[in-house]
Amino acid sequence: MDNNHSNNNIQYESLSTDTKDFLRKPGIMQASILFSINMILLYFIGTRAQIKDFYKGTLFLEYVLMFLPAVLFIFIFKYDVKKTLRLNKLKLSNVALIILLIICAIVIVSGINYVNLAIIKYIFGDVEISELPPTENLLKLIFGLVVIALTPAICEEVMYRGVIMSGFEELGKRAAIVISALLFAFMHMDFQKIIGIFLLGLLIGYIVYKTDSIFAGILAHFTNNAVYIILSYAANKFSYSVKQPEGVIRETPDFDFSNLTEIPVENLIFVIITILLIYLFFVVSFAGLLSAFRYNNSDRTVSKSINPPKPRTAVIHSLWLIPGLAIVFCMYFKLALFLMGT
């Protein structure tokens, strides 16, 4: 008995550092189980809590149904907390690059979301656009930044770029980034923005891996959410009322794009070209910033798995995703039926 234990210790100590780290983190099965548990909790408890009270429901959803299960999972199975969550310092030189990368990505993804929304409207007709609660004053802005920006940034990153991405690293770093981003998009259950959320998930996953720090993901996630909240605050400030020179307040009219044919062709062409040039500017800026970010973190490369499981084993372990994916399918199916009016 003692000899076997001693032999096991010798075998473990003879392993490379990468292999030891690999064994101290969750695997595909554990990550799949956690995702399904997360989806069950969100669908049956979290959404109801948010409907009842958005802000209190969001705090409950994020900390109790998202953060707590992920942390309990790590401690119950005795995984290495630092390795699993990548609790490493974030280089100061990365902070500005990450913020600027996300700002550029928001513009690019917003264009993709608008195209996706146009396709949905073409198929289903008029749909209600999901929006954040109105941010009318500075107090609500600060509260929104804490509840809607910072809280999800911490809790969702611990879950998806922490435990789940670490688990799928058995399939390789690239696969882990893609799968965690896909599951992250499914988790949001947003029919209109699913493509954009997936792309942002890919970017955040890449940022976390290249920096080897969950704090990079939290910063990126917070920046994304904060920009939308600040824009919502600014929009509310200027859209609800516009002061006339005499001090009279009037409501800002809604924009109706159904009468675009009435706009002179040369004006319409000018507007389209201007929008495309602005969009191109952000695309080029994003490419340059991404190149600078890669150079700043050139010591890390997205490598293949050091100990990939057999394909059959990987498939069997991935079957634990089915309960969570079934909930996602049911949710989108119900939404499609609702949009079709059936």
Task: For the chain, report the end-to-end CA distance as a whole number of angstroms.
Answer: 66
| Rg of the Cα atoms in the chain | 23
How do strand 242-243 and strand 249-250 relate by DSSP bridges?
antiparallel
Q: pLDDT by residue (tens digit) across 250-271?
A: 443 444 455 556 677 777 788 8
How far, CA to CA in Å, does 238 sit from each of 214, 241, 288? 36, 6, 33
Q: What is the DSSP string of 182-219?
A: HHHHHHHT-TTTHHHHHHHHHHHHHHHHHHT-HHHHHH
Output the pTM of the full model. Answer: 0.85
Q: Count of CB atoms within 10 A of residue 195's CB?
A: 15
Q: Which of the two residues, 11 and 119, has the higher pLDDT score? A: 119
By CB neighbour count within 10 A (0-12 exposed, 13-18 middle, 19+ buried), where does 262 fall? exposed
Take residue 153 and report the two structure tokens written for it: 């940034």
Q: pLDDT by residue (tens digit) across 179-213?
A: 999 999 999 988 888 999 999 999 999 999 999 99
Task: Check pLDDT > 60 for residue 246.
Answer: no
Cα four-point dihedral sign 263, 269, 271, 275: positive
Q: pLDDT by residue (tens digit) across 290-331?
A: 999 999 998 765 545 556 777 788 889 999 999 999 999 998
